[in-house]
Structure 1
Amino acid sequence: MKKIILVALMFGTLISYANENINTEDAKKTVKVEFNNVKKGQTLTIKNSNGLTVYNNEIQNSGDYSKTFDFSALENGIYSAELNKDFEIVIKQFNVENGLVTFLNNKDEKIFKPIIRTEGELLLISKINFNNEPLKVSLYYNDEAVLTETLSGDKILKRVYKLSQKETGVYKVVISSDERTYSKEFKI
């Protein structure tokens, strides 16, 4: 009797273990992409490893976002699902191999965007820089470069530029960091 109970327990454990492996299988053909606390107007972009956009959609409703994708037709490679928010970009990376998708890590990557503000003749730039990436700032006046500077070394990068009140017209600031470019035009 003890042998039968022991064999039944071992068999039950074996079936339970097998079912657990099937249910937690990482590679799937369809994938649900989820983000919490999205706002209407934010965008979801899916890019390949070369930065080519394969999907782009503007979020229509605020709250939690969930969409199921069939990535089985994508070429083999690493892709990223990027939620472009007001001040940050949240990135989930995944691998497509033979039509099956596997997420590469459980933790979302975050890239903080630079903040560009103007107050009169002042140009204020700041960026949270936890990943220690340099911030290249280029300032143009009437399409002519007037300043190029690279900021680095701090967890919060910030700079205030005082522009000439005599040089009124159209300015453009272009900021590059984290392999991305941001720009803003303004007048003084």
Structure 2
Amino acid sequence: MKNVLTNTKKGILMVAILATVMGFANEVSIKNFKKDLKATALTIEDVKEGNLLSIKDDHGITLYKEMIKQSGIYTKGFDLTELPDGSYFFELDKEIEIKTIPFTVKSNKVTFNKEKETTIYKPFVREENGLIYISQLALDLEPLKISVHALYYDSSSEIVYKETIKGIQNIERVFKLETGSYKIVFNFNNKELTKYINN
């Protein structure tokens, strides 16, 4: 009976996540203006205050960065034709996901490739009743490295747990940590995310 309830909960969670993913499918629209106007209008639905929008080149170097100041619909014009020929992408860093929108510039012409847009889900951490819950949706079975560091008053730290999780789509871990301060470092998809815990 316990297994049935656990599997039912997991099934409901996966349906909810898939519904959320499908909801994001049409949230970004891009318009290139012709003739005298060189601007590209970027419109993103359902942004939240504090989301980070960046333009990066294909080496990951940040060329532009903006913190979203208002929740709702974000619209802004960019003159991307001034960029040198090459590959670039918009990156929208949200609470639980990072969305990339790739484009190329060639001879002052900007081309977006909708088929190569990606969404990466970030690890999610929550505390409840003295337990630390970690979850991540890894659609492409990408590995997740977790390291938990105990932080001490003299500014030193010690790794108390380390793990690399591979080949799992719905990653879930639960930790019970002794009272204190901790830093949890996640490495995934060539990105690093740090969360601090005080319990």
C-alpha distance after superposition, 1:74-117 (max 9, x if no partner): 22221111111121112110011232211122563211111012
Aligned to 2:104: 95
Pair 1:33-2:42 in alignment: yes
| Cα distance in 1 for residues equivalent to 2:141 and 2:38 | 36
1:57 Cα deviation (Å)? 0.8
For structure 2, list consecutive stretches of 5 or more residues without a partner in the other structure: 1-31, 152-156
Q: How does 1:38-77 map to 2 (within 5 A)?
A: 38-77=47-86
| Cα distance in 2 for residues equivalent to 1:133 and 1:185 | 23
Aligned to 2:114: 105
Please give the secondary structure, in 2, of the residue aligned with 1:72.
Answer: helix
Aligned to 1:4: none
| Cα distance in 2 for residues equivalent to 1:64 and 1:127 | 26
Letter in 2 for 1:109: T
1:24 Cα deviation (Å)? 10
> Does the Cα contact within 8 Å between 2:50 and 2:69 map onto a contact in 1?
yes
1:29 Cα deviation (Å)? 4.3
| Cα distance in 2 for residues equivalent to 1:85 and 1:69 | 21
Letter in 1 for 2:63: V
> Does the Cα contact within 8 Å between 1:124 and 1:158 map onto a contact in 2?
yes
TM-score (ref. length: structure 2)? 0.73
Letter in 1 for 2:62: T
Pair 1:184-2:185 in alignment: no
TM-score (ref. length: structure 1)? 0.77
Aligned to 2:184: 173
The two structures, once aligned, show a CA RMSD in angstroms of: 2.2
| Cα distance in 2 for residues equivalent to 1:176 and 1:146 | 17
Greater relative CO, 1 or 2 (CA 8 Å, sep 6+): 1
| Cα distance in 2 for residues equivalent to 1:100 and 1:29 | 9
> How many residues matched?
161
Letter in 2 for 1:178: N
| Cα distance in 1 for residues equivalent to 2:100 and 2:46 | 14
Aligned to 2:14: none
| Cα distance in 2 for residues equivalent to 1:159 and 1:59 | 31
| Cα distance in 2 for residues equivalent to 1:107 and 1:65 | 22
In the alignment, which of 161, 164, 178 is matched to residue 147 of structure 1?
161
% of aligned pairs identical? 37
> Does the Cα contact within 8 Å between 2:33 and 2:40 map onto a contact in 1?
no
